[in-house]
Amino acid sequence: MLTKRIIPCLDIKNGRTVKGVNFVSLRDAGDPVALAEIYSKEGADELVFLDITATEERRKTLRDLVLKVAEKVNIPFTVGGGISSIDDVAMLLKSGADKVSINSSAVKNPNLINQLSAKFGSQCIVVAIDAKQINGIWKVHLVGGKVATELDLFVWAKEVEKRGAGEILFTSMDNDGTKNGFANKALAKLSKNLNIPIIASGGAGNIQHFVDTFKKGKSDAALAASVFHFKEITIKDLKQELKNNNIPVRL
């Protein structure tokens, strides 16, 4: 059985790590390079680095920061934010990223997924999907959650898989930052419908929430931010408890 992955997420704004609730009310959470190095040493399986205002501000991801983070970590490292072309991805992979995450650009130009997968291999193309429930239907949102679309989460996820994405990073905007647990019903449905790994994001508040998303949500990986940044949960304790619950992890 494949081991389940624990992935700290570094949301970056103005060169600093930030964290909010439901995608707003951002507060400072520290230096991203220092945090990345700590998580790499503490046993994180991967890192995700999201330049959260790159799309909104119509600029490219912070390449210099990517270079600095890549120097400090020895685990797979995914970068997202403002990526919209083959050249963007080539630059980031050359700068030290192992994977890239695309979101708004994939919705606006779905063929970009096909192009990137063909050029670089599906293993390094992650499609991030931010969604929240509107009248009981999970609707995809863009530009850091600021722009609603009519796209249904599950329909879009299936198309993303068909176009060659290697993984889906699903963030529940309803759960984000609430510390009330992951959106496990939606995650379980995604896992059932798709054959590529699903990364759960949004809602981690305690160790039990991670246990639940692997058991009930059928997630392949769990991503979290504030519980790690503010030392509410250590990766070592989390992984030990997952192992105690017969969930396969890399210790």
250 part of a folded domain = no
- CATH code assigned at 131: 3.20.20.70
Given the residues 88, 130, 176, 212, select the one marked as catalytic.
Answer: 130
pLDDT digits (tens, 9 = 90+) for 67-81: 888 899 999 999 998
pTM recorded for the entire structure? 0.91
* 48 DSSP assignment: E
168 part of a folded domain = yes
Count of domains for the chain: 1
225 part of a folded domain = yes
Q: What is the pLDDT of residue 23?
A: 41
Confidence of residue 26 (pLDDT cuts 50, 70, 90): very low
161 part of a folded domain = yes
28 in active site: no
143 part of a folded domain = yes
CA distance 107 to 109: 6
249 part of a folded domain = no
Give me the domain span that covers residue 137.
5-244
Instruction: Return the higher-pLDDT residue of 113 and 68.
Output: 113
CA distance 15 to 51: 9
51 in active site: no
Q: What is the pLDDT of residue 51?
A: 80
- The residue among 116, 114, 17, 129 whose CA lies nearest residue 62 is 17
Least-confidence region, from 15-29, 63-77, 180-194: 15-29
Q: What is the pLDDT of residue 73?
A: 92
Contact assessment for residue 65 and residue 32, using Cβ atoms and an 8 Å cutoff: yes
- The residue among 35, 104, 33 whose CA lies nearest residue 66 is 33
Instruction: Return the higher-pLDDT residue of 198 and 72.
Output: 198
Contact assessment for residue 212 and residue 206, using Cβ atoms and an 8 Å cutoff: no
Residue 241, both tokens: 């408890």
112 part of a folded domain = yes
142 part of a folded domain = yes
Confidence of residue 53 (pLDDT cuts 50, 70, 90): low
